[in-house]
Amino acid sequence: MNSTSAASAPPQLRLLVIAVYALAIFLGAFLLFQVQPIMGKYILPWFGGSPGVWTTCMLVFQLLLCGGYAYAHFLNRYCTPRGQIFLHAVLLLGSLFTLPIAPSAEWKPTGSEAPTLWIVMLLILNVGLPYFLLSATGPLLQSWVSRSGIVEHPYRLYALSNVGSLLALLSYPFFFETWMSSSQQATNWSLVFSFFAIVCPLAGILSLIRSLKRSQALAETAVTANSVRTPITAMQYVHWFVLAFIPSLMLLAVTNQVCLDVAVIPFLWILPLSIYLVSFILCFESQRWYHRRPYIALTMLAFIGVLQAQTAGPSMNYVLQILIYFSALFLTCMVCHAELVRIRPEAHNLTAFYMTMSIGGACGGLFVGLLAPMLFNDFLELQIGLILCGLVMLALYFLPKDHTLSNLSFQRQRVYSSLAMFALIGIIGTQWFVGSSQHAIRNFYGVLRVKSALDEKTGLMVKVLFHGRIVHGTQLEREDLNATPTAYYGYDSGVGMTLQNFKPDAPRNIGVVGLGAGTLATYGKSGDHWKFYEINPDVIDYAQRHFTFLSQCAAEVEVLPGDARLTLAREPENQFDILILDAFSGDAIPVHLLTTEALAIYRRCLKPDGALVIHITNQYFDLAPIAAGLAEDAGYSVTVIDNRETLKPFANRSMWAVLSANPEAIAAVRKISDKEIVPVRRQLKWTDDRSNLFEALR
C-alpha cells in the first residue's frame, strides 16, 4: 500500500513533503536538546552550582519527553490524521504565549525552598509546554510520514532527529555559550521555536495533500493497518523498558560522578548526553555498527576501568577519568540501544515502542534523581547500573548471533530477573547497614561523610569531613591540638597569614562563604564577629555535631543558611573587614561566586579598606586569572599565595588569592611570604551571562 501511494504522489510534492518533514524533525530535535543546557546554565547560579541542578533538570526533561511520547501514541491511536494535525497545531499556537522561556528574577529562591521541587516547578511553568510538544515531534511525524507512504523506512528518521539533537548539544559549548549570553540564548531559542510552530503543522498538511482521493486512501490504509496489526506482548514491553532504563541510569550516574569530581559546567553535561545520542544514531541508522560479543567484551573491560577509577578517586588524572567513564557509558549505550533496535516492532506500533522507551528513560532519571538520594547515603547509582548492565550482557553473550532477549526461555528470564533483584536488595541492605554505623548523609548538594583516620605523617588520629571524595576539613582528635588550623587553612596558608596579620589588634567583622568543618573559626578572637554562609543544611549540622571548631571559637559566631550571594545581598553595607570565599561542591567550582555580579555584592559588604580572600586550590582549573580579573574590575591589588614550599605539619598545599584596595592588607601578607607569591600573567572576567571554564583549564 505504502509503495503504491508513494509512486502515485507527484515527484515535486513528494520531494517537498520529504524536505519539510526533514526540516521539522531536525528543528524539533535541535530545539529539544538545546533548551536543556540553556535552562540548566541559566538557573545553575540560583541553586549554589550543585551537580543536583543538572540531574533535576534531566529528570524533568525526561518526564516531559515521556509525556510527549505518550501524547503522540494516543493521538496516533485515537484521532484521525486531520484531527491530529489540527490539535497539534492549536497546542503549538498556544505554546507561543508561554515564550520567551527565560525565567524571571521572581523565580530566584530565597533559601527556604526545597531545591528539587522548586526546579521542577520552574521548568514546567517556563518551558514545560514547548518542551512537551517538541518531545512529541519525532514519533508523531514518523507516524504521519509512515501513513502517507512518502518514506519507506520511518525508523531511519529517528537517526535524523538524533543528528539534530547531537548538533544542538555539540554547538552549545563551542558556539552558543561562547558567543551569546544566557538571556540571548533563551531569546533566540524562543524565536526559532516560533518558526518551528509553523513548519510542523505544515509538514502534516502536506502529507495529506497527495491526491484528490487522499481521504479515502488514508481511511483504507488505517482500516488495513488495524486489521493486520499484531498485538504487543507484555514481555516485549518489559524488554523495551529495561533496555531503555539502563542507559538512562548510566547517563545520569556518570554525569553526576564526573561533575562532582571535576566541575559543574555545561560541557560535562553535554558530552555524556552526546555520547548517549551517538549510540542512538548509529544503532537506528544501521546494525552494521554493532557486533554483539566484541562490544560486550569491551564493555566488561571498561567496567573494570570504572572500578579502578572509583578506587583511585581524585588522584587519577581527570582526562583519564573522563575517558574511562565516558567509554563505559558509550559501550553500555551501544549494547542496550542496538539490542533495542533488534526487537523494535513494525511501523504501525512505533508510537507504543517510543512511548515505552521514554518511560524506561524517565524511570532511570527518577531512580537517580529522586529514589537514590532517599535510599542511599552514597552515590551507588553507578554501581547499580554496572550490575544491571552486566546481567543483561551475561544473558546476551551466550545467545546465538541472530537471537535477541525475546528468544530467552522463560526459565532463563526468571533467573536473570531474580539475580537483578538479589543484587539490588544486596546493595540496599549493605548500604543500610554501613550507613547506620557511619556518619554519612546525602541530599541535593551531594554526599557528606565523617571518618576518623590515622594521619600517616604525624601518627595522630584525625577526624575528616568529605564532600563526595574531596576533603572539606580535618580536625586533630588529640585534645590539646584540636584547635589547630589544618588542611587548607594552616598558619602558612594565604588565608591563615591574612587572618594573623591584617588588623590583628582590633576587633574584626569577618564573613566566610562556605562552612566546611568550621576550621577557619580557630582564628577567631575575643571581640571578633564571624558570619559563616552555608547553602547545605547538612554541612551546618555536621560541623556543629562532629567537630568542635565552632563551639571552641572565642569570637561571636553566626551561621546563616542559604545561598551566600542571595543572603549577602540582603546584608548591611560596609560590615566586613575580611570576606573569605571558600565554597566548593566536591572539587567543583561554584562559578556564580566568581563573576562580576558576585563581586559587586562582595564590595558592597566589605569595608573600603577591607580584604577579599578567595580559595583557588583546584586540581583541574587555574583560578588565579579569575581572581585577577575580579581585582581589575574592583580596582584592587591582588596577591596569589601558594604554600607548597613552606608546608607545615597538619596542613595541605593550598592556593589563596588576596584582593584589597588597602596597601596594608597586601603588605601584611607579602612581607612574610615572598617565596610563596605566584605571579599572575593573565586575567579572565566572568559574568553571570558569560563564563567558560575551558579558559581556566590547566
Lowest mean pLDDT among 16-20, 255-259, 410-414: 410-414
Q: Residue 524: which pLDDT band, with cuts at 50, 70 and 90?
A: very high
Residue 304 near residue 362 (C-beta atoms within 8 A) = no
Q: Residue 223: which pLDDT band, with cuts at 50, 70 and 90?
A: very low
Q: Residue 116: which pLDDT band, with cuts at 50, 70 and 90?
A: confident
Residue 625 near residue 682 (C-beta atoms within 8 A) = yes
Measured distance CA(605)–CA(573) in Å, rounded: 5
Answer whether residue 613 shows pLDDT above 80. Answer: yes
Lowest mean pLDDT among 153-162, 249-258, 290-299, 662-671: 153-162
**pLDDT for res 57:** 87
The mean pLDDT of 368-379, rounded to a whole number, is 80
Higher pLDDT, 178 or 671: 178
Answer whether residue 404 shows pLDDT above 60. Answer: no
**pLDDT for res 318:** 74
The position carrying cell 546584608 is: 571
**pLDDT for res 183:** 84
Higher pLDDT, 201 or 148: 201
Measured distance CA(137)–CA(612) in Å, rounded: 51
Higher pLDDT, 630 or 267: 630
The mean pLDDT of 337-359, rounded to a whole number, is 80
Lowest mean pLDDT among 428-432, 476-480, 684-688: 428-432
The tens digit of pLDDT for each residue in 564-608 reads 888 888 888 999 999 999 887 655 567 778 888 889 999 999 999
Answer whether residue 434 shows pLDDT above 60. Answer: no
The mean pLDDT of 196-213, rounded to a whole number, is 72
Q: Residue 314: which pLDDT band, with cuts at 50, 70 and 90?
A: low
The mean pLDDT of 109-114, rounded to a whole number, is 69
Percent of the chain with pLDDT over 90: 18
Measured distance CA(696)–CA(698) in Å, rounded: 6
**pLDDT for res 7:** 43
CA atoms within 13 A on the CB side of 264: 28
Lowest mean pLDDT among 92-106, 190-204, 362-376, 582-596: 582-596
Domains and CATH numbers, the chain: 1-228 (1.20.1250), 238-268+280-437 (1.20.1250), 480-696 (3.40.50.150)
Helix axes 292-312, 381-397, angle to 10 degrees: 160
Q: Residue 558: which pLDDT band, with cuts at 50, 70 and 90?
A: very high
What letter would DSSP give residue 96?
A: G
Measured distance CA(149)–CA(9) in Å, rounded: 9
**pLDDT for res 124:** 92
The mean pLDDT of 293-320, rounded to a whole number, is 81
**pLDDT for res 225:** 43
Higher pLDDT, 437 or 690: 690
**pLDDT for res 408:** 53
H helix intervals, 286-402: 292-312, 318-342, 350-366, 372-375, 381-397
User: What is residue 467's three-state secondary structure?
Assistant: strand
Of the ranges 143-152, 231-240, 432-441, 518-527, the best mean pLDDT one: 518-527
Answer whether residue 501 shows pLDDT above 80. Answer: yes
Lowest mean pLDDT among 191-205, 210-224, 477-491, 577-591: 210-224
The mean pLDDT of 647-667, rounded to a whole number, is 83
Name the helix (H) or strand (E) containing 607.
strand 606-615
Answer whether residue 6 shows pLDDT above 50. Answer: no
CB contact set of 138 (below 8 Å; sequence gap of 6+): 25, 28, 29, 72, 157, 158, 161, 354
| CA atoms 115, 116, 122, 123: torsion sign | positive
The mean pLDDT of 24-38, rounded to a whole number, is 88
Answer whether residue 527 shows pLDDT above 50. Answer: yes
**pLDDT for res 414:** 55
The mean pLDDT of 469-473, rounded to a whole number, is 80
**pLDDT for res 548:** 92
pTM for the model stands at 0.74
The tens digit of pLDDT for each residue in 139-167 reads 787 777 766 556 555 555 666 677 888 88
- Give the rounded distance of the alpha carbon of 105 from its chain centre: 22
**Bond before 100 cis per omega within 30 degrees:** yes
Q: Residue 409: which pLDDT band, with cuts at 50, 70 and 90?
A: low
Residue 211 near residue 8 (C-beta atoms within 8 A) = yes
The mean pLDDT of 347-355, rounded to a whole number, is 76
